Amino acid sequence: MDFDLPPDIVATLAELDGFIAREIRPLEQRDDNLRFLDHRREWARTDFDAGGLPRPEWEALLGRVRRLADAAGIWRYALPAQYGGRDGSHLAMAVIREHLAAQGLGLHNDLQNEHSIVANNPFVLMFRDFGTPAQQAEFIPGMLADGGNGTHRLAFGLTEPEHGSDATHMATTATPATRDGRAGWRVHGEKMWTTGMHSASHCLVFARSGGEAGDARGITALLVPAQADGVKVEEYLWTFNMPTDHPRVSFTDVWVPDDAVFGPVGGGLALAQHFVHENRIRQAASSLGAADYCVRESVAYARQRKPFGEALARNQGIQFPLVELATQVEMLRLLIRQTAWQMDRMPKPEVERQLSDKVSMCNYWANRLVCEAADRAMQVHGGLGYSRHKPFEHIYRHHRRYRITEGSEEIQMRKVAGFLFGYMGPNRF
């Protein structure tokens, strides 16, 4: 068994580091762009007078970074070659996500809004796999143009005010309705955490179109224009980590034509789960990288900080907590890379049947670990660690949400338990 990274992945990491040094770090130093990254970051990024939305200048800067990354040929890395990507593997993306997060805060990888010089782009693959030819022709180029700053940007309307993890009980409905002789659907309901709606061209809305509450079948996905009559942002939900682009959106008798249906009628829930394992393993890798960063920064500080004339690092009260975190980082890295490597070796349906528990292990443990590592880093750094002059509070605030999104850690643990006790998975009985 060979645990060395493949040469092509090693070369890609070197390419990314070169791009960051050549393009990103100088950009951070210009025009006081450091205000978005240093102790001023939350205030610089957030337009508190506009509902807490990201400031236009902050989003414009991120858009500039994406253009640079796309021009360098790295932004689309994970996508198939037919869309300008490099067919990046699950292993490669896990390694890249860890590598970027391990460098700390920067324009190269600011996960507050899922920004990275190597994008995820799950919607592109959803359109490839479920879109009609007309939808593919319209949306895929529209989403990829201008480094993701093109004509088409999607929000995701699944979660509801009264229905979170159990999407099968959603209250939003889609009923057949004809307008001016044209067949279509009338959408009515509310969605929560509809991220990016303030700049979206469309919202992918999941609605009950048949069956009974609790049925997995009978839920249909529809591409609803963000500016359609009856679509309204009711409020932007302020979060632990600001700014916010997470609104509650109402859909009041919104009509869309038949060609707005995305995927099979009644089979929309499968679309919502289409990229779940990829998202979870990459999210885990990001959390791992950030945890590693917190540990390394804490070790370096403990060696140079000398209260009472002696380095903090000589105290076992400092050493042992960091030893435990460093050990977990090393073990988790191996599990994440092994799981990603295995994902590369089987079709997507087999990942669900064979590896779903391992993906969940990686995800919930990494997200818990980074919170513990950031908290420990604050403690080791003392008052300075608690301040915004160090990045640990920002890392904690961002990664804490990962214990809820992409399936809460309780949902993830339930999946592991299902495999472990034989209620699901290859050993089901």
- Residues 159, 254, single domain; the answer is yes
Indicate whether 280 and 416 sit together in one domain. yes
Do both 249 and 310 map to the same domain?
no
Range of the domain at 201: 154-267
What pLDDT score does 166 carry? 80
Q: Give me the pLDDT at residue 260, please.
A: 96
309 and 372 share a domain? yes
Q: Could you give the CA distance from residue 147 to residue 71 in angstroms, rounded to a whole number?
A: 8
pLDDT average per 10 residues of sequence, the chain (429 residues): 90 98 97 96 95 96 96 96 96 97 95 86 92 96 92 94 85 95 96 94 96 90 97 95 94 96 92 87 96 98 92 94 98 97 93 94 97 98 95 94 89 94 88
The CATH number of the domain holding residue 401 is 1.20.140.10
Q: Given 234, 267, 300, which residue is the final one in a domain?
A: 267
Q: Are residues 236 and 311 in the same domain?
A: no
**Is 244 a domain residue?**
yes
Number of domain units in the chain = 3
Specify whether 110 is located in the same domain as 31.
Answer: yes
Decide: 407 and 276 in contact? Cβ < 8 Å. Answer: yes
Task: Show which of 267, 287, 314 is a domain's final residue.
Answer: 267
Dihedral of CA atoms 242, 225, 272, 110 in degrees, nearest 10, equals -30
Q: Which helix H or strand E contains 405, and what residues bound it?
A: none
Please report, for residues 260, 281, 355, 384, 428, the alpha-carbon distance to residue 418 in angstroms, rounded to integers and kept in the order given: 36, 19, 12, 43, 9
Asked whether residue 324 falls in the same domain as residue 384, the answer is yes
287 shares its domain with 389: yes
Residues 330, 346, single domain; the answer is yes
Q: Are residues 281 and 258 in the same domain?
A: no
Has residue 323 been placed in a domain?
yes
Q: Residue 243: is the preceding peptide bond cis (ω within 30°)?
A: yes
According to the model, what pLDDT value does residue 1 have?
66
End residue of a domain, out of 120, 138, 173: 120
Domain match, 99 and 194 both: no
